[in-house]
């Protein structure tokens, strides 16, 4: 049986996500922005929390861990490089490690840049990746603890996943990301279609995620820094992709 996903809002613009294995009843929360919405989501679905898979140490991804662990005695899995900052950690993981949630298995990809130890959980068989604050739909995370080179390499790792991989990210930032992306590629037809779709979804108060690797490759400027259409648009044709990416990221920081 394939994984079931439940997506819900937390805090101002964070997403909480539960992934549930129907065959064993195991359920993991991806990050824990705050305990109450995770508890409400578990109650709504009738699922029992067995694991918390942490992507990075920021408080808006970890503040709910202590209360959830105290109540459910769940296992907390966290990036080895940030475990000391996260606390309440049972298992630390790094690049290439496998994490089992019931019968489901995630491979750990180190995707630093937003934070120095940020990781992504890729459930290959279920074709799902939980990318935290590394990649957003039509955008990417701010580079707070790394370099543009590091972030570009992390984004390439995600871009290289199978095209039909569903992407769940940590925040609903898509509308602002689309506004920025249109300043880079105003004539990208996939991006223009996405812009229209976003207006419709947000009007209906629906999430704009999950997205897919294939979709993001078609309209996310941060995954397209090695294409002429992007480098040319900012007057950097022929420049290396890291420099193009760094320039776009710096523009977005000021946007
Ligand atoms: Zn963050």
Model confidence pLDDT, tens digit, residues 34-49: 999 999 999 999 999 9
238 Cα to the center of ligand 1, angstroms = 32
| Active-site position among 21, 31, 51, 60 | 60
| Residue 177 CB contacts under 8 Å (≥ 6 apart), including other chains | 136, 137, 138, 139
Q: Are 221 and 188 in contact (CB under 8 A)?
A: no
pLDDT at 11: 92
Handedness of CA 55, 93, 143, 194 (dihedral sign): negative
pLDDT at 202: 93
pLDDT (tens digit, 9 = 90+) per residue, 178-199? 999 999 999 999 999 999 999 9
pLDDT at 251: 96
Q: Are 15 and 169 in contact (CB under 8 A)?
A: yes
Q: Please give the share of the chain, as a percent, with pLDDT higher than 70.
A: 100
pLDDT at 113: 98
Question: Has 253 been annotated as catalytic?
Answer: no
Determine if the pTM surpasses 0.85. Answer: yes
Question: Has 61 been annotated as catalytic?
Answer: yes
64 Cα to the center of ligand 1, angstroms = 14
Question: Has 226 been annotated as catalytic?
Answer: no
Residue 1 has pLDDT above 80, yes or no: no
Which residues have CB less than 5 Å away from ligand 1 (the ion)? 58, 133
Average pLDDT over residues 208-236: 97
Q: Are 194 and 214 in contact (CB under 8 A)?
A: no
Mean pLDDT score across all residues of the chain: 97
| Residue 173 CB contacts under 8 Å (≥ 6 apart), including other chains | 13, 136, 137, 139
Question: Has 118 been annotated as catalytic?
Answer: no
């Amino acid at each position: 049986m394939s994984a079931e996903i439940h997506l819900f809002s937390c805090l101002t613009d964070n997403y909480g996500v539960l992934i549930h294995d129907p065959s064993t009843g195991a359920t993991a929360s991806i990050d824990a922005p705050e305990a109450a919405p995770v508890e409400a989501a578990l109650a709504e679905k009738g699922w029992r929390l067995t694991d918390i898979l942490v992507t990075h140490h920021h408080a808006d991804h970890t503040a709910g861990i202590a209360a959830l662990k105290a109540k459910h005695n769940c296992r907390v899995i966290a990036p080895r490089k940030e475990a000391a900052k996260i606390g309440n950690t049972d298992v630390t993981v790094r690049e290439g490690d496998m994490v089992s949630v019931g019968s489901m298995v995630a491979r750990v990809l180190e995707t630093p840049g937003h934070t120095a130890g940020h990781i992504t959980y890729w459930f290959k068989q279920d074709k799902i990746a939980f990318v935290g604050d590394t990649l957003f739909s039509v955008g990417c995370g701010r580079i707070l603890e790394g370099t543009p080179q590091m972030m570009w390499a992390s984004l390439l790792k995600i871009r290289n996943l199978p095209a039909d991989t569903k992407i769940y990210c940590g925040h609903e930032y898509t509308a602002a990301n689309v506004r920025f992306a249109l300043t880079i590629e105003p004539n990208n037809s996939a991006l223009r279609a996405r812009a229209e779709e976003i207006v419709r979804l947000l009007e209906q108060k629906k999430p704009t995620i999950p997205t897919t690797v294939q979709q993001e490759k078609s309209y996310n400027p941060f995954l397209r820094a090695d294409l002429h259409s992007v480098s040319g648009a900012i007057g950097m044709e022929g420049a290396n992709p890291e420099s193009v990416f760094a320039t776009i990221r710096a523009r977005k920081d000021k946007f």
